[in-house]
Amino acid sequence: MNDPFYITTPIYYVNDKPHIGHAYTTILADVLTRFNRGIGKDTFFLTGLDEHGQKVQQAAKRLGMSPKEHCDAMAPRFTDLWRKLHISNDYFIRTTDDRHKKVVKKVLEVVMERGDIYQSEYEGLYSISEERFITEKEAENGLYRDIKKIKEKNYFFKMSKYQNQLIDHIKTNSKFIQPNHRKNEILGFLKNPLNDLCISRPKSRLNWGIELPFDHNYVTYVWFDALINYITAVGYGIDNRAFHKRWPASYHLIGKDILTTHAVYWPTMLMSAGIELPESIFAHGWWLMGESKMSKTLGNVVDPMDLIDDYGVDPVRYYLMREMVLGQDANFTIESFIQRYNSDLANDFGNLLSRVTTLIHKNYDGKIPSPGVLQDQELSIKSNSEALIADVTNMIEGMRINEAIEKIMQFIRNVNKYMEKNAPWKMVKEDKANAGRILYTATESLRIGAVLLFPVMPNRVSVLLDALRSKNLNYSWGGLNQGAILKKHEPLFPRIK
Ligand code: MSP
C-alpha cells in the first residue's frame, strides 16, 4: 500500500451550473483513482470549488446575499451531483475554507521573501468574464467578454524570472505536460518572453478574495488563490508529514482551456516558493455538441442530471470513458450514447450475463457448476484473460482508457462466440459435466471482465458480482465460487428502444 497516487480535478467555479464538462473530468479522476486503489496504491483524490472573484461577488449582490452565503447555497449542486455519480473523492476543498486562506497567505509571504513580488502601475484591457488583464490581440479575437480599460496600481509576481527554468523542466521531464501536443503548445508559447503576473486586485474594485498578507488594500488574484488548492488539501504549511507523503501530485487533470494557468503560472509559483512541481499535468479535450464546445452562452449544455435520470449513472460513466480519446475532442450525441449502450452493454455484456445465469438456473439449480478439467479452448480463454489484465493495466497507466474498455469488450465478445460455438444449451441435455465446464468458463470470464470494468461502472458491477456471489475484486482466474447459488437480479442493462 505504499506507492502513493494523488490526483486532482480543476476546482470548479461555484457559480456555474454543473454540466457534462465538469462531470467528465471528475468521473475520469474517479475511474483512475478506483483503478489505482484496486492495484494497491495509496490513493488520494481531490476535487472542489473555486469560490472567489468578481463573478461570485456580482451574483451575490444581485441576489442580495453575502458572497459566502451565496457560495454556501451553490456548493451542494456540485456535492450532490458527485454523490449521485458515485464519485469517491477523499477530500472536497472550497477556496473559502479558513485552512486554504492561511495557506495562500503563507505562499504569498514565502514568494515575497524570495523577492519575487513587486508593486507597479499597470494600464491595460481587463476582461471581467476571464478575470484577468488581456492583450490587445486577445481583445480583438472576440472570445472575451466584458472588456474594460483599467489603470491601477497592483502587485506583480516575477514569473519571467523562471521562464528558462520552466523550459528546462518541461524538456527534461517528458511526462510533465501531457499529451505531447499540449507540451509543444506550451513550449511554443514560451518562445516569446514571459510577462510577469498581476496577482492582486484593489479592494476598491473587488473585495471578494483573500487579503494580501502585506497590504490590506488588496485581495489575491483568483487564479493565484485557486491553484494553491492543490497543496492546501494535502497539508502544505499545516501538516508537513502528510504533505510530503502525498505531494507531488501524480496528475493534475484539466481541460485544454486552462493549460496556461496550470503549465506556466502554477509551476513558476511553485519554483518561487521552493516546492516540488507536480509529476504530470494532463489536458483533455472538450466535449462538443455538433461542432461547437458545449457552453452556457451557446445554450447547448447537456445536463448530466437529465441523462442520469433517463439512463442511469453507470451507462453515462461508461459512455464518457469509452467515447473520448484522452487529449482529443469528442462529440456528444444522444444517438451515439444509445448506440454505444445497446451494442456494448445491452448486447455484448448483458447477453453473456443473461445467457449464463439463465442456463445455470435452469439446469444446475442455480449452482455454479464445476470447471472440471479445462480443455484447450478454456486454457486459451484463461491465458487471454491474463493477457487482458496486463493490457488493461498498461493502457490505463498510459491514459488510454477508451482502448482499455474496448479490449475488455473484445474479450467479452470472444466469450460470447465461445458460447455460440459450444452451445451449452444443447450439450447440457446429454453431457452435463462438459456443459458445466463451458458455463463455468464463460461465467468466470464475465466476472473478470466485470471486475476490470468496476472503476468505470462501480454500481452495476457490484450488483453483478453480488449476483455471482463473488464480492471481491480479484481479477485473477479462478475467483468464482463453484457451488455457490446465483442470486436473482433485475436486468442490468435493458435495451434502450
Ligand atoms: N475554476 C477554474 C479552474 C481552477 S483550477 C485551479 C475553472 N473552472 S470551470 O468550472 O470553468 O471549468 C473547469 C473545467 O471544466 C475546465 O477544465 C474545463 O476545460 C472543463 N470543461 C468545461 N466545459 C467543457 C466541455 N464542454 N468538455 C470538457 N470539459 C470542459 O476553469
Q: Whose CA is nearest to atom 9 of ligand 1?
A: 12
| 458 prior amide bond cis, ω within 30 | no
Cβ atoms within 10 Å, residue 379: 12
pLDDT tens, 174-186?
A: 999 999 999 999 9
- For 63-72, which contacts have Cβ atoms below 8 Å and span 24 or more sequence positions? 67/208, 68/96, 71/14, 71/96
Q: pTM value?
A: 0.95
Query: Mapping DSSP to helix (H, G, I), strand (E, B) and coil, where does residue 107 land?
Result: helix
How many Cα atoms sit within 13 Å of 375 on the Cβ side? Answer: 10
Q: Give the residues surrounding ligand 1 with Cβ less than 6 Å away.
A: 10-13, 16, 21-22, 24-25, 50, 226-227, 229, 254-255, 257-258, 286-287, 293-294
| Dist. CA 223–CA 220, nearest whole Å | 8
The residue with cell 467528465 is 24
For residue 295, what are the contacts with CB-CB under 8 A and spacing of at least 6?
301
497 CA to middle of ligand 1, Å?
33
Q: Which numbered atom of ligand 1 lies nearest the CA of 253? A: 17
Give the closest residue to 282 by CA, choosing from 180, 188, 392, 191: 180
Q: Whose CA is nearest to atom 5 of ligand 1?
A: 10
pLDDT tens, 273-297?
A: 999 999 999 999 999 876 666 666 6
254 CA to middle of ligand 1, Å?
7
The residues that bridge with 7 in the sheet, in sequence order, are 45, 251
- Cell for 275? 516546492
- CA angle (413 as vertex; 37, 475 as ends), nearest 5: 25
From 210, 258, 323, mutation site for ligand 1 pocket: most ligand atoms within 8 A of C-beta: 258
| Dist. CA 343–CA 120, nearest whole Å | 61
12 CA to middle of ligand 1, Å?
7
Alpha-helix residue ranges (DSSP H) falling in 114-212:
136-140, 163-172, 180-189
Give all strands (DSSP E) within 237-294, no chain letters: 251-255, 281-284, 287-289, 292-293
| Dist. CA 284–CA 182, nearest whole Å | 10
Encode the chain (497 residues) as per-residue pLDDT tens digits: 568 999 999 999 999 889 889 999 999 999 999 999 999 999 999 999 999 998 999 999 999 999 999 999 999 999 999 999 999 999 999 999 999 999 999 999 999 999 999 999 988 888 877 777 888 888 887 777 788 898 999 999 999 999 999 999 999 999 999 999 999 999 999 999 999 999 999 999 899 999 999 999 999 999 999 999 999 999 999 999 999 999 999 999 999 999 999 999 999 999 999 999 999 999 999 998 766 666 666 666 677 678 788 889 999 999 999 999 999 999 888 889 999 999 999 999 999 999 999 999 999 999 999 999 999 999 999 999 999 999 999 999 999 999 999 999 999 999 999 999 999 999 999 999 999 999 999 999 999 999 999 999 999 999 999 999 998 889 899 999 999 999 988 889 999 98
